[in-house]
Amino acid sequence: RWPSLLKYYSHSDSVSWLEEYKARHNAGLEAQRIVASFSKRFFSEHVPCDGFSDIETLGCPSHFFEDELMCILNMEGRKGLTWKYYAKKILYFLRQQNILKNLKEYLQRPTERQSFLEGAVLIDQYCNPLSDICLKSVQAQVDDITDKVRKVLRTKNPRHPSLASKAGEVLIPEVELQRQVLDAMNCVLYEQLKYKGNELDYYNSLNSYIHQVLIRRTGIPISLSVLYLTIARQLGVKLEPVNFPSHFLLRWCQGKEGSTDIFDYTYIDAFGKGKQLTVKECEYLIGHHVTEEFYGVVTSKEVLQRMVGNLLNLGKRESTDQSYQLLRDSLDLYLAMYPDNVQHLMLQARLYFHLGIWPEKVLDILQHIQALDPSQHGAVGYLVQHTLEHIERRKEELGPEVKHRSDEKHKEVCFSIGLIMKHKRYGYNCVIYGWDPACMMGHEWIRNMNVHSLPHGPHQPFYNVLVEDGSCRYAAQENLEYNSEPREIPHPDIGRYFSEFTGLHYLANTELEIRYPEDLELTRATVQKIYSSGKERFLAGMQGWE
């Protein structure tokens, strides 16, 4: 564990290593206790943010707590799936809280100390808290590109001021010398390194994450502009961000510095291989005329607002992500910058309400909206009423519904929890995590899914399945068959329901087994019958049951 903890110590520190070890050991025990409690507390609902309240008041060093969570996540691949599932959620929350704190500190700095690159990294980190992303690493990659530009520049002009050791600290005043820098940048970025705008997969969220832009060498106008602007400034050329509609641009002053005349600037399209544009060409780019205000420079906060706005729009578009994680993350970021924005507060309240999570928080948001804008009382009142009803229903819940196979009404249910299945019509692989003796969906869903066209219609068992594409589906019994080659199902919620993959099927975790107490025995018998011809493989899977 030492390499990952090294950064928390200084060579000059006087440390009692026995005490440090004890602190790490106790943090490990605390982490295990909290992770173990999550399955029982949150099996039947999404983990709400107030579910992490006991983590926020940890009595141990947070880096030791995180280290234990990482140890859980790095456990042998097929075991401890439920622990991994909740350890991941806790780690996600902890890191996002720290990143949000760093973002707020960043926004409070004077504008001249707000690096565009650092802002882009903070957004990237918040949306990808489990990835190893840090400003130092991203900056090192940008520095490497900058060094390549210097090499090209040296062949063109060995006496260029950007080659001096302190280049970047002083801006180059001569326009012709600045042009040489931009030409060298275009050569390195677009010809040597093959960076390009991602026209084929424009609406992929990876285009917005600066570490992915550096890995994949592609992005959208704003992410490529942040990279381009950062390199230019390190070489002594001051470019400025322009919040142009539909296509983010940079501007390069050709006249007196600070000029308010839009015709004193050349506009640079980092998405279009660094092409330099006139005002008229900028309008051709988007196909219509715009007023002068759209050619003005914007602050780092406004750049981040547009980056987050792009992610918000992508989050609204994503239909396969049933947790709406990108939308939730981008709303958090937007409201960290603009905490009193009524439109986005209302969107956050509606989202939580739609997902059925954290109703107490929904009420807090609605109260804040009402205080900010009393004209919203109609929408606020509707959501308050239904949220209070949700809270009351939750109080009345008697506990989990238990389904016994011995019940007469369940005699037609052929398949059991944990079996790896294949859909006969659509061919997808999936695992069963729940079943009903007949279709329990409403009339509208049955009509939309054309269930009545099935030979047995809605009057047959239906199964809740986790699908390999990350979706959750409700499938009719007649459409499912045993998978002749069972394999792991890469679904983000697999650990919510299962503790282990045996090689042939999944083992239900304690909470799921409580709800389907007789399924494990049937699953064992079914697997033995189906896969008995592959004895060695079957025996390997049996080890998991023992």
Residue 225: alpha-carbon gap to chain centroid: 22
Question: Over the stretch 381-392, which tens digit does the pLDDT of each residue have?
Answer: 999 999 898 888
Write down the pTM of the prediction: 0.86
* Domain locations along the chain: 4-108, 131-304, 339-397, 408-531
Q: Are 115 and 233 in contact (CB under 8 A)?
A: no
H or E element, residue 384:
helix 377-396
pLDDT number for residue 13:
81
Count of Cβ atoms closer than 10 Å to residue 162 Cβ: 24
**Per-residue pLDDT, 47:** 57
Residue range 122-142: average pLDDT? Answer: 95
Is 217 a residue whose pLDDT tops 90?
yes
The yes-or-no verdict on residue 77 having pLDDT over 80 is no
Band of pLDDT at residue 170, cut at 50, 70 and 90: confident
pLDDT bucket at 48, cuts 50 / 70 / 90: low
Is residue 483 within 8 Å of residue 461, measured between CB atoms? no
> Is the predicted pLDDT of residue 395 greater than 80, yes or no?
no
Confidence of residue 358 (pLDDT cuts 50, 70, 90): confident
Q: How far apart are CA 15 and CA 21, in angstroms?
A: 11
**Burial environment of residue 114 by CB neighbours within 10 A (0 to 12, 13 to 18, 19 or more):** middle
Q: What is the pLDDT of residue 44?
A: 63
Percent above pLDDT 70 for the chain: 92
- Stretch 398-411: mean pLDDT: 87
pLDDT level of residue 319 (50, 70, 90 thresholds): low
Selection from 383, 372, 433 nearest residue 403 by Cα: 433
User: What is the spatial distance between Cα 147 and Cα 372, in angstroms, rounded to a whole number?
Assistant: 50
pLDDT digits (tens, 9 = 90+) for 484-532: 889 999 999 999 999 999 999 999 999 999 999 999 999 988 988 887 6
pLDDT the model gives residue 53: 64
The SS3 of residue 423 is strand
Residue 414's pLDDT band, with cuts at 50, 70 and 90, is: very high
Give the chain's mean pLDDT.
89
115-125 pLDDT per residue, tens:
999 999 999 99
Of residues 303 and 542, more confidently modeled? 303
- Find the mean pLDDT for residues 259-288: 93
> What number does CATH give the domain 408-531?
2.30.30.390
In this prediction, residues 144-156 reach a mean pLDDT of 95
Q: How confident is the model at residue 232 (pLDDT cuts 50, 70, 90)?
A: very high
Q: Which residue has the tokens 């390069």?
A: 252
Q: How far apart are CA 393 and CA 531, in angstroms?
A: 44
